[in-house]
Structure 1
Amino acid sequence: MTEDISERTEAADDCSVADPTAYAARHSIEVGAATLDHESADYCERDAAGLAVVGVTDADGRALAAIEPDEGHAMPLNGPVADDEDWTTVARQQVRGVTGAEPSLIGVERVREVTHRVDGEPVGTTHHVVFGARLVADAVPDGFCDTNPWELRWLDSVPAWQDAGTAADDIALFIEGTPEP
């Protein structure tokens, strides 16, 4: 991850993100767009304002990913944000809850408006706020999470088996500094 990103926004440890689009406008962050197709109306963000996505990197430039071993899907750590929650607080809680380590949030890397579709029809809109972070101690081992079936793994590249999409884009951002398409 490039250091100039943290210069663009205030240190995330000291900020609050209550409204992603207002935060993006205030900090000159372009709001990207994505469309996610779901098999049913019971998708993970259905009752949420969106996701706090956290790209945790280590001193070697690797990114921490949660990997669903049975489906071969990798994604940065993330968690749903309710309408009345602060995105920064949720980001910090998600990292702490999954890794057991205290995160130091670096800044907001991107904001994305997501249109959700079922059978090709729009059914909702949420936001993804993508934070950069470091762990106070780079002490998260590879292995399975205590709280869910996902495996934690440090990645130095986007896995070849990873489907294209927002998760792959976010992993690439933290490993390669690749902007969103």
Structure 2
Amino acid sequence: MYDTTQDTVTVPSDPTELAARDDVDEVTDRFPHGDEDHCEADYAGRTIVGVTNDDGEVLLVTDRDASHAVLPSPKVAHDGDWTGTAREELAEIAEMDIRVTSVERVRHAEHVLEGDDEVFDETTHLVLAAEPVADDPELPDLEAEHWSLEWHDSYPDELLEDGRPETEDVRLFVD
């Protein structure tokens, strides 16, 4: 169990309510899929976590094979806890306890079939800012995995594709 008193923000069960706040960015993006059984089918959406350390570096998950990076972004069940899901994911993949410090963005994710404009599903992507609870957390050695965890102090052009939603989320945390 995680100590939720560490968090400095509360997320309601319907995180789209947060879009009404002046300090939260609200966007809508479309995600094309080959069929209606997409990666977020049967989920409320994703909690996307921008973890920054004391040096101002952001934690990215990098796919070594595809040379592509993203912020940690676990799926959230319909009755799930958005900040709890973020904490669980970081504890699992990075062996790190985090403190959620703010809500940065609410994304209305519209899912469409490739070549079609009709939305067949909508989910929510909630972008949270967080920080490690411990000073100077050590990242696990993932040499056997096809992905790695890396701290970045600037925008990694070679790992991100401009204009993509996941890239815009990274830009919230590094220049």
TM-score class, shorter-chain normalisation, is: 0.7 to 0.9
**Amino acid in the other structure paired with 2:65:** D
CA distance in 1, matches of 2:172, 2:67: 20
Q: Is the 8 A contact 1:117 1:124 kept in 2?
A: yes
Q: Where in structure 2 are there 5+ consecutive unaligned residues?
A: 1-5
CA distance in 2, matches of 1:101, 1:143: 13
Aligned length: 164
Q: Is the 8 A contact 2:65 2:146 kept in 1?
A: no
Q: Deviations over 1:28-79 (max 9, x none)?
A: 3342111122234332112211100000011111110001111111100110
Match of 2:172 in 1: 173
CA distance in 1, matches of 2:32, 2:173: 25
Match of 2:125 in 1: 128
Match of 2:154 in 1: 157
CA distance in 1, matches of 2:66, 2:155: 16
CA distance in 2, matches of 1:53, 1:132: 9
CA distance in 2, matches of 1:62, 1:38: 33
Match status 1:68 vs 2:63: yes
Deviation, 1:156, is 1.9
Match status 1:140 vs 2:135: no
Q: Is the 8 A contact 1:13 1:105 kept in 2?
A: yes
Deviation, 1:17, is 2.7
Match status 1:97 vs 2:92: yes
CA distance in 2, matches of 1:14, 1:131: 9
Deviation, 1:123, is 2.6
Match status 1:56 vs 2:78: no
**Alpha carbons of 1:149 and 1:13: their partners in 2 closer, same or farther (altered >3 Å)?**
farther
TM-score normalised by L of structure 2: 0.83
Match of 1:79 in 2: 74
**Amino acid in the other structure paired with 1:119:** E
Percent identity over paired residues: 32
CA distance in 2, matches of 1:35, 1:140: 36
Q: Where in structure 1 are there 5+ consecutive unaligned residues?
A: 1-10, 177-181
Deviation, 1:89, is 1.2
Match status 1:24 vs 2:19: yes
**Amino acid in the other structure paired with 2:37:** D
Q: Secondary structure at the match of 1:23?
A: helix
CA distance in 1, matches of 2:17, 2:172: 22
